[in-house]
């Protein structure tokens, strides 16, 4: 970092914020035109905090306090289609209610940014953290970034606008932060100065596209004058091709996520691995834990202590679950003997959780591959203390020694 850049960072400030407030501050600084949202625990603080910014005239944003999450995302679709930079936030049941429009948002290639404060799904009703909500939406065509702490929630929200609006991407982005563990827990968060963020994200300028029936390039936005048709009926002869455009776009997003991570590091001095995965202690690791979200902090704490005693263990945190960083995962874990995927959600009737399935699939074509085990933990907000992680590590070390797997999928700390 140059001295000038260091001074820029210094001009920022440190605030004690919870994860929700950190997201609200990021949105405040990111030149967002429209926020449409509906309250749901544990997301509410984002919307409340942002409403204060609106009420105090600190942003130019139009805030639409809609009557449901379905309408929240529907309004975001309308606003983004009209050329606005758009943000919303939800959790759990709210995300479930948005489901239909998740696919519309990605299919219409609208760069909406949404914070999802991860929370278990009903029934039984539960307001606490797990990843069932967003894991269910993993095939909806959204980019999914999972953050570890409030600082990263702030940084990633800012980055998300840049990723979503990149001309090679044009996809909506979910920034996922763990309910209560992050949303309601205070942390010192380094905020960049307003002007630095505003310069980094710029203002949204809709991409231009060539429209054959107009015979010219026009901005891809409803401007009141240019007769573009968005969201037409698309049948057997074109639908598949349009889906392939989405495939290409989310593939493109890998490079963009990495590049934005680098650019942001130059600005702030903070980066998150290569943007897709964040390795820890993997260089000489014999066993490794793969994890998403805030549990990475607990896992890292346990690893740090065990490494002092010479245990060769590492961790790979998956930051981008969609697109899934197949190559990075293989590269990071190929020399490890035993890997465990820690899933904070279920895929009922499947062989293990979603992360486990992605990992196993990523390694299928590799000549040498680690034994891959699945530990499902923390559903409905159940804590994962260091002692529970230690138990997992002991089991992994035992498998590494014997090379024998007795149980492929295990459920952590569940009463019989």
Partner 1 sequence: MSFAINIKELAKKPPKLLPGHRLCAGCAAPVLVKLTLLASEGPTIVVNATGCLEVATTIFPYTSWAVPWIHNAFENAASTASGIDAAIKALRRRGAIKDERVNIIVFAGDGGTYDIGLQALSGAVERGHNFLYILYDNEAYMNTGIQRSGGTPLGAATTTSPAGKVIPGKLQQKKPIADIIVAHKAPYVATVTPAHWVDLMRKVKKALSIEGPKFIHALSPCPRGWRYDSDLSIEIAKLAVDTCYFPLWEYENGVWRLTDRSLVIARNPKLKKPITEFLKVQARFKHLLRPENAYVVKKLQDYIDAMWSDLIKRAGLK
Q: Which residues pair with 339 in a beta bridge?
A: 288, 372
Nearer to partner 1, 75 or 160 (CB): 75
Considering the rule CB under 8 A, would residue 391 count as an interface residue with partner 1? no
Cα–Cα distances in Å, from 346 out to 7, 14, 349, 378, 411?
A: 46, 37, 9, 11, 10
Supply the DSSP string of 343-402, one letter for each residue: ESS--TTSSS-HHHHHHHHHHTT-SS--EEEEEE--GGG----HHHHHHHHHHHHHHHHH
Near partner 1 by CB under 8 A: residue from 33, 152, 165, 328 = 33
Out of 76, 147, 341, 399, name the contact with partner 1 by CB under 8 A. Answer: 76
CB 285 within 8 A of CB 314: yes
Q: Does 235 engage in binding with partner 1 (CB under 8 A)? A: yes
What residues are paired with 15 via a beta bridge? 189
- How many Cβ atoms are within 10 Å of 225's Cβ, its own excluded? 6
Residue 242 or 401 with smaller CB distance to partner 1:
242
Shortest CB 341 distance to partner 1, Å = 35
Phi-psi region of 358 (alpha: psi -120 to 50; beta: other; left: phi over 0): alpha
Contact status: 222 vs partner 1 (CB under 8 A): yes
158 makes contact with partner 1 (CB under 8 A): no
Please report whether residue 226 would count as binding partner 1 according to CB under 8 A.
yes
Q: What are the tokens at 88? A: 């919303």
Looking at 30, 71, 157, 183, which residue binds partner 1 (CB under 8 A)? Answer: 71
From candidates 22, 37, 81, 147, binder to partner 1 by CB under 8 A? 81
Q: Mark the segment that binds partner 1 (CB under 8 A) among 116-124, 229-237, 298-306, 372-380.
A: 229-237
CB neighbourhood size of 12 (10 A): 16
Rule CB under 8 A: choose which of 48, 139, 168, 223 binds partner 1. 223
> 79, 177, 295, 340: which one contacts partner 1 (CB under 8 A)?
79
Give the separation between CA 393 and CA 411, rounded to whole angstroms: 14
Q: Does 104 bind partner 1 (CB under 8 A)?
A: yes
Q: In DSSP terms, which residues pair with 374 in a beta bridge? A: 341, 409
Q: Least distance from C-beta 130 to partner 1, angstroms?
A: 28
Is position 164 an interface residue for partner 1 (rule: CB under 8 A)? no
* Number of chain positions touching partner 1 (CB under 8 A): 48
Q: How far is the CB of 404 from partner 1 (least distance, A)?
A: 52
Supply the minimum distance, in Å, between the C-beta of residue 191 and partner 1: 22
Structure token pair of residue 225: 């004058």
Select from 11, 58, 68, 202 the one that contacts partner 1 (CB under 8 A).
Answer: 68
We find the least distance from the C-beta atom of residue 34 to partner 1, in angstroms, to be: 5
Q: How far apart are the first and last CA of the chain?
A: 54
Q: Give the CA-trace dihedral at 75, 79, 81, 85, to 10 degrees.
A: -130
Sole window of 164-172, 216-224, 276-284, 370-378 interacting with partner 1 (rule: CB under 8 A): 216-224
Nearest CB to partner 1, comparing residues 76 and 285: 76
84 contacts partner 1 (rule: CB under 8 A):
yes
| Under 8 Å between Cβ of 154 and 22 | yes
* C-alpha pair distances (Å), 295 with each of 70, 96, 280, 375, 384: 30, 24, 14, 13, 7
267 conformational bin, left if phi > 0, alpha if psi -120 to 50, beta if neither: alpha
Under the criterion CB under 8 A, does residue 147 sit at the interface with partner 1? no
The nearer residue to partner 1, 87 or 264, going by C-beta atoms, is 87
**Residue 62 interacting with partner 1 (CB under 8 A):** yes
Binding test (CB under 8 A) with partner 1, winner from 57, 215, 224, 349: 224
Cα torsion 165, 256, 162, 204: sign: negative
Q: Could you list the residues that contact partner 1 (CB under 8 A)?
A: 31, 33-34, 36, 60-62, 64-68, 70-72, 74-84, 86, 100-101, 104, 203, 212-213, 222-235, 238
């Amino acid at each position: 970092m140059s001295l000038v850049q260091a001074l820029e960072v210094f001009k920022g400030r440190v605030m004690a914020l919870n994860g929700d407030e950190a997201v609200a501050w990021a949105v405040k600084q990111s030149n967002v035109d429209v926020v449409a949202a509906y309250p749901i625990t544990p997301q509410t603080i984002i919307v409340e905090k942002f409403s204060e910014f609106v009420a105090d005239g600190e942003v130019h944003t139009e805030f639409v306090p809609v009557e449901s999450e379905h309408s929240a995302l529907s309004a975001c679709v309308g606003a983004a289609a009209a050329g606005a930079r758009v943000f919303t936030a939800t959790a759990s049941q709210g995300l479930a209610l948005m489901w239909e429009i998740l696919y519309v948002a990605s299919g219409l290639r609208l760069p909406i940014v949404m914070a999802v404060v991860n929370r278990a799904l009903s029934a039984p009703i539960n307001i606490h953290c797990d990843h069932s909500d967003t894991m269910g939406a993993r095939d909806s065509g959204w980019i999914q970034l999972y953050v570890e702490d409030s600082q990263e929630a702030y940084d990633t929200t800012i980055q998300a606008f840049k990723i979503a609006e990149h001309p090679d991407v044009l996809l909506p982005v979910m920034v996922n932060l763990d309910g209560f563990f992050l949303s309601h827990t205070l942390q010192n968060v380094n905020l960049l100065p307003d002007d630095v963020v505003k310069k980094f994200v710029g203002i949204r300028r809709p991409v231009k596209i060539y429209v054959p029936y107009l015979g010219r390039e026009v901005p891809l936005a409803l401007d009141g004058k240019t007769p573009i048709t968005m969201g037409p009926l698309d049948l057997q002869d074109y639908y598949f091709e349009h889906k392939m455009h989405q495939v290409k776009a989310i593939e493109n997003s890998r490079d963009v996520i990495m590049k934005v991570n680098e650019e942001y590091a130059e600005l702030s001095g903070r980066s998150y691995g290569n943007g897709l995965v964040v390795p820890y202690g993997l260089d000489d690791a014999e066993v490794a834990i793969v994890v998403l979200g805030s549990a990475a902090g607990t896992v890292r704490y346990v690893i740090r202590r065990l490494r002092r005693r010479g245990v060769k263990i590492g961790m790979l945190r998956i930051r981008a679950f969609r697109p899934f960083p197949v190559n990075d995962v293989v590269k990071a874990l190929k020399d490890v003997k035993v890997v465990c995927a820690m899933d904070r959600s279920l895929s009922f009737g499947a062989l293990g959780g979603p992360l486990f399935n992605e990992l196993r699939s990523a390694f299928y074509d590799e000549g040498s591959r680690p034994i891959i085990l699945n530990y499902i933990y923390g559903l409905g907000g159940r804590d994962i203390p260091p002692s529970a992680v230690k138990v997992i590590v002991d089991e992994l070390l035992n498998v590494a020694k014997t090379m024998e797997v007795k149980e492929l999928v295990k459920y952590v700390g569940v009463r019989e």
